[in-house]
Amino acid sequence: MAAIVMETITGSNGVIIPPKGYLPGVRKICDEFGIVMICDEVMAGWCRTGKMFAFENFDIKPDIVTFAKGVTCGYVQLGGVAVSSKIAAYFDDHLLSCGLTYSGHPLACAAGVACVNYYKEANILDNVNKVGKVLGEILEELKEKHPCIGDVRYIGLFSSIELVKDRKTKEPLVPYGKDPEGTMGKIIGMLKAKKFMTYSHENMIFVNPALIITEEQLREEMVKVDEVLTEVDSWLTI
């Protein structure tokens, strides 16, 4: 095995946070067998989880990190790869002959530099951790209140709400890979009607607010989620 690639924290599959010891265990195996550990931080990177990169939450250092999205805050498309000094040193004496038409686009790179500098200058991580704590508390309150919630997962301002038909059995609100009645679409539509912008995947809806959101703004927005979930509760056969 040459390498292992994984999302440090899964994004669209439900913000699944690795249990304690999992990623250090992967790191140990990679070190033992000379496997390159690659962390995909396209969604979780750049302050989203309360650290500049999500892997920092688990006290590990991957060999390669891929990133995009948050590096420019979405203003211009930009993706990148960061490698360890050991891997970089290999190319001191070995040509890496590759390139793309728009590689290193100056506009995208300028946006990236500006955003990363702003994250630091504006102490964005402080806000993410402060407001992220409130988000977690609100999500736990919603879970207690609404029978349609099977689970909530969150770290920083990265979170998902898993919707179920039956909390005891954890039967998903919609079958895996299917939504014949357009149930999730209806839920997203109700949220959008309240000007709450998000998306769904399978039986999950995501709450990933702007990194600069205030506690007051967050509480105001989460009232909308509460109202929609109350409607979803009424669809269940209790």
What would the two tokens of residue 114 be?
């500006």
CATH superfamily membership of 124-236? Aspartate Aminotransferase, domain 1 (3.90.1150.10)
Task: Tell me which residue of 138, 131, 236, 141 sits closest to 187, measured CA to CA.
Answer: 236
CATH 3.40.640.10 fits 3-122, yes or no: yes
Rounded Cα distance between 69 and 65, Å, is 14
Look at residue 233 and give its three-state secondary structure.
helix
Q: What sign does the dihedral 171-198-139-144 (CA atoms) show?
A: negative
Using the CB atoms, write b or e for 166-197: b if 16+ within 10 Å. Answer: eeeeeebbbeeeebeeebbeebbebbeeeebe
Q: Is the per-residue pLDDT at 232 higher than 60? A: yes
- Please list the residue range(s) of the chain that carry CATH number 3.90.1150.10: 124-236
The pLDDT tens digits of the residues spanning 49-97 come to: 999 999 999 999 999 999 999 999 999 999 999 999 999 999 999 998 8
pTM for the full model?
Answer: 0.94
The pLDDT tens digits of the residues spanning 202-231 come to: 999 999 999 999 999 999 999 999 999 999
Question: Per residue, what are the HEC states of 65-88?
Answer: EEECHHHCCCCCCCCEEEECHHHH
- Please list the residue range(s) of the chain that carry CATH number 3.40.640.10: 3-122
Rounded Cα distance between 161 and 154, Å, is 9
Summarize the confidence of residues 181-207 as an average pLDDT. Answer: 97
Q: Is the per-residue pLDDT at 4 higher than 90? A: yes
